[in-house]
Amino acid sequence: PPSSIAIIGGGIAGLSSAFYLSRRFPQAAITLFEKSSREGGWINSRRVDVKDGHGNRAQMLLEAGPRTLRSNSGAVLELINLLDLRSSLITTPKTSPAAKHQFLQIPGRPGLTRLPSSLFSLLSLPYASSALVPSILLEAVRPSNKPKGQDDESLGAFLTRRFGAKFERLFGSALVHGIYAADSRMLSTKAAFPMLLEAEKRGNGSLVWGMLRGREKVGLFAGYDVGEVRTLVDNASIFSFFDGMESIPKALKSYLNTAQNVTIKTGVDVNGLRPTTNSEDIEVILGNGETLNASHVVSAIPLPELSKLTSSAPADVLPHLKANPLSSVTVINVVFPPSTRPIHPLGFGYLVPRPAGGYAVPSSGFLGTVFDSCALAAQDTGASGFTKLTVMLGGPHLLTQAHTRMENVLAQLQHHLAPINHLQKGARLPWPVYYEATEHKACIPLLTVGHVGRMNEMKAALKGGPWKGRLEVVGAGVGGVSVGDCVEAGRNVGKDW
């Protein structure tokens, strides 16, 4: 078993790794290095005071990074159980408008288009049904057209092949904007949506038939210690915590600070990793010039960062670290004052598909907008009636500073929300009582076509060669970008040690 473990990176993947390793190897001395002054990585929640001109004050919880979790991750539910975070859970019931209503903002058309939440509602939504119903019916009768011998393809290519180009642009591109802030024509289906490939197989080439046939129900949480948390989130579509997503890294930090065998070093970056020649240890070179030898190492930093740390080793010693680009996103938190008219329709929010002319044509830069007050209003305290929403800009769109200026963002929101929100013609959205734009550079790895195969080659290289199975690589760029994927990776790290 390991005698000393170095973990590089204090995001959710690194913290989860430390949590599980400290329990699995109580005798090992574990040191986690985080280059910034705080743990949590992209997870970043804060509370701000807002007031309007009528003496109403509220404390709004804002997220700069991830904002919600889905109840399908056994690893996250287990962590919530083990960290005793049950009492601060805030759930959005499956029956609530935030769970049932999602919208598209189709470039070039004012207002929002509601997406169907069920087969019945499909027929009651004229625009969505005119775009969706024929594509779905045709898919069900289209013979299998999976290219022979092809192991992976982009989600864009997959959806175009099965449902046609219009469907892909309206729905596929919007979905990928919402999750990956990326171009659906670059994203690997096998890495990001393996369930679609499984359904296509089940349906003998048809996704629709495969989905209707349904998946074999396997115990979703078998082997996870989820306790009562399961019942708490059973009827929830999404959930978070009273103090936001940062509740998880904060609770992990408190746990690790009291663990006998863990030391967290913030403000210390690792800038080199070298297998030693005279022992099985790995030499960890720190930015402050110090070095330490660790019997085992976990990398929980973006893969291009890891490639800098291992740059003295030949590329084939640890291949594919620079294969995927990372998307950049500007997140704009906006709080509107209480008003007599609703600012937006009830729902989770809206996504904006790729413009018909592609990303080269000038656009609003919008990827989508989340109606936070609708899904997780219980996070806010004080006077009610304030509306908070979050606009996401960037990804494959070229952004200029003008895109993120509040007057321009507000003009776009007016264009998107006005037809629904304004009972009186010509009425304008109020000026927000609070707004803040945060630019996240290179924040979401784009898992491009072939990603799964490349990662398998990387893992094979780690097992053999100079690393001798003593370096493991986890994080958003390896096994999936969601918080659940990152926690799952941390839970599995070191199982072969």
Interacting positions 61-100 with ligand FAD (CB under 6 A): 65-69
Candidate list 5, 6, 7, 12; residue touching ligand FAD; CB under 6 A: 12
In whole angstroms, give the CA distance from residue 310 to residue 408: 43
User: ∠24-26-30 over CA atoms, to 5°?
Assistant: 95
Candidate list 14, 172, 203, 450; residue touching ligand FAD; CB under 6 A: 14
In whole angstroms, give the CA distance from residue 494 to residue 497: 5
Q: Pick the closer one to ligand FAD by CB: 200 or 305.
A: 305
In whole angstroms, give the CA distance from residue 467 to residue 465: 6
Per CB under 6 A, 482 contacts ligand FAD: yes
Candidate list 13, 80, 115, 303; residue touching ligand FAD; CB under 6 A: 13
Residue 49 CB neighbour total at 10 angstroms: 11
Token output for 34:
């985080």
Q: Pick the closer one to ligand FAD by CB: 42 or 171.
A: 42
Candidate list 85, 174, 191, 300; residue touching ligand FAD; CB under 6 A: 300
In whole angstroms, give the CA distance from residue 11 to residue 33: 10
Q: 247, 87 in Cβ contact below 8 A?
A: no
Candidate list 5, 7, 8, 197; residue touching ligand FAD; CB under 6 A: 8
Interacting positions 435-464 with ligand FAD (CB under 6 A): 440, 443-444
Q: Pick the closer one to ligand FAD by CB: 66 or 355.
A: 66
Candidate list 30, 301, 429, 471; residue touching ligand FAD; CB under 6 A: 301
Q: How far is the CB of 459 from ligand FAD (least distance, A)?
A: 16
**Bridge-partner residues for 382, per DSSP?**
58
Angstrom distances, CA of residue 172 to CA of 78, 257, 450: 32, 43, 19
Pattern of binders to ligand FAD over 392-431, x per CB under 6 A? ----------------------------------------
Q: How far is the CB of 306 from ligand FAD (least distance, A)?
A: 8
Q: 32, 265 in Cβ contact below 8 A?
A: yes
Residue type at position 362: P
Q: 72, 218 in Cβ contact below 8 A?
A: no
**Ordered DSSP codes for 110-155:** SS-EEEPSSHHHHHH-HHHHHHHHHHHHHHHHSPP-PPTT----BH
Q: How far is the CB of 490 from ligand FAD (least distance, A)?
A: 8
Per CB under 6 A, 369 contacts ligand FAD: no
In whole angstroms, give the CA distance from residue 2 to residue 249: 25
Q: Site residues (CB under 6 A) for ligand FAD?
A: 8-14, 33-36, 41-43, 65-69, 269-270, 300-302, 305, 329, 331, 440, 443-444, 475-476, 481-484, 486
